[in-house]
Amino acid sequence: MKRSVVENKKMEHKSFCCDCSQIEISEQKKITLKKRVIKTSLMVLFTIFFTFTTSDSVFAKHGEKKPEKKGILLVAFGSSEASAQISFENIDKKTKEAFPEIPIYWAYTSHIIRNKLAAQGKILDAPEVALAKMHTEGFTHVAVQSLHTIMGEEYDDLKRIVNGFSQMGGFEKITVGYPLLSTQEDIVQVVEAIINIIPKERRPDDAVILMGHGSPHPANAFYAALMFQIQLKDPNIFVGTVEGYPEIADIQAMMVKKNIKNAYLIPFMSVAGDHAKNDMAGDEDDSWKSILTKSGIKCEAILKGTAEFDDFVNIWVDHLKVAMSHF
């Protein structure tokens, strides 16, 4: 089916943002925001150019090698919701436990979230800014760990940034760790993690529905692949998405066919932010809870992001261990 121009625009907008449905930006603000983004990008490019041309990349003065300094950069989509901080704190803690000697830096890929936080006085770096700072601070080996769920657009952008730094030769080594769901082995582990976090009181006839973000990116296919494999173990676990495939209508139809009466709703995103609170568990007519309730399915929402559970965080940390193993 052909999408209208408005729908295409909507997709375009939604494809790179999260707390998007919450953010109502006026045209004037949009222009100001655009100008700010351009200004920031120019500043970043200047900073990178300046640091890389004035400092002595991998070699210190007189051809001596810089002393080895390893660092970790954790990169999340970001969230402005206070409820999301618990997820980030847990990842930070588990990373420190795995690498107690290595300094850990953070960056957010979403410029909308960064701008929103900046307006509240909280400055979060973009990945390119964080890497430029790390370079200036003398790091020679950097492992960048993506905290995204799939290898979607945010991950592609991050890879481009890392490749840029790699080609400039500023670091002796820079590597990237995969997002949560990147290989068949990851699917197997994520299936286990999901089964482990299901509330103990859930009966086999009750459904468990995971809400993924979803994306127009080809990696969106991982959600359906995950549902296929998890249903081989437990046929009443479903995986849907807010902005991709499968949609809630697909899940609802499957549940009605199975005559399911109760469902647990769990976000399949690292944080329980706006999508979890509103699109999944909100009281609005189009929330998943409302849609399913209308079909006679009683819903219980669990407002916890995947990064609040060690079962999931361990997968990201394992990916970071692989990235660190290349040093």
What is the distance between the alpha carbons of residues 81 and 30, in angstroms, rounded to a whole number?
A: 21
Q: Is 213 a catalytic residue?
A: yes
Beta carbons of 258 and 237 less than 8 angstroms apart: no
What is the distance between the alpha carbons of residues 90 and 313, in angstroms, rounded to a whole number?
A: 8
What is the distance between the alpha carbons of residues 239 and 224, in angstroms, rounded to a whole number?
A: 7
Cβ proximity to Co ion: between 20 and 75 the closer is 20
Q: Which stretch binds Co ion (CB under 5 A): 20-28, 141-149, 249-257, 276-284?
A: 20-28
User: Least distance in Å: CB of 134 to Co ion?
Assistant: 28
Cβ proximity to Co ion: between 174 and 271 the closer is 271
Q: Which helix (H) or strand (E) holds 106?
A: strand 104-108
Residues touching Co ion, count (CB under 5 A): 2
CA angle, 254 as apex, 250 and 260 as ends, to 5°?
Answer: 130
User: Least distance in Å: CB of 154 to Co ion?
Assistant: 11
Q: Which stretch binds Co ion (CB under 5 A): 15-23, 42-50, 188-196, 313-321?
A: 15-23
Q: Both tokens of residue 36? A: 């700010």
Integer-rounded Cα radius of gyration of the chain: 21
User: Least distance in Å: CB of 197 to Co ion?
Assistant: 22
What is the distance between the alpha carbons of residues 297 and 24, in angstroms, rounded to a whole number?
A: 32
Cβ proximity to Co ion: between 20 and 180 the closer is 20
The residues facing 144 across adjacent strands are 73, 176
Cβ proximity to Co ion: between 20 and 158 the closer is 20
Cβ proximity to Co ion: between 20 and 72 the closer is 20
Per-residue DSSP letter, 275: I
In the complex, residue closest to Co ion by CB: 18
Q: Which stretch binds Co ion (CB under 5 A): 13-21, 191-199, 251-259, 263-271?
A: 13-21
The DSSP code sequence of 223-286 is HHHHHHHHHTT-TTEEEEESSSSS-HHHHHHHHHHTT--EEEEEE-SSS--HIIIIIIT-SSTT
Q: Which stretch binds Co ion (CB under 5 A): 10-18, 22-30, 161-169, 260-268?
A: 10-18
The answer to whether residue 20 forms part of the interface with Co ion (CB under 5 A) is yes
Which of 148, 213, 275, 319 is flagged as catalytic?
Answer: 213
User: Least distance in Å: CB of 86 to Co ion?
Assistant: 19
Distances (CA, A) of 139 to 107, 131, 142, 248: 16, 9, 7, 46
Q: Match 């925001």 to its residue by tokens.
A: 33
The pattern of x and - marking residues 202 through 241 that bind Co ion according to CB under 5 A reads ----------------------------------------
Q: Which stretch binds Co ion (CB under 5 A): 19-27, 73-81, 169-177, 227-235?
A: 19-27
User: Least distance in Å: CB of 10 to Co ion?
Assistant: 12
User: Least distance in Å: CB of 269 to Co ion?
Assistant: 9
Sheet-wide strand order for 207-212: 237-241, 207-212, 262-267, 298-301
Cβ proximity to Co ion: between 133 and 304 the closer is 304
Per-residue DSSP letter, 80: -
Beta carbons of 81 and 271 less than 8 angstroms apart: yes
Residues with active-site annotation? 213
Note the residues at the interface with Co ion (CB under 5 A): 18, 20
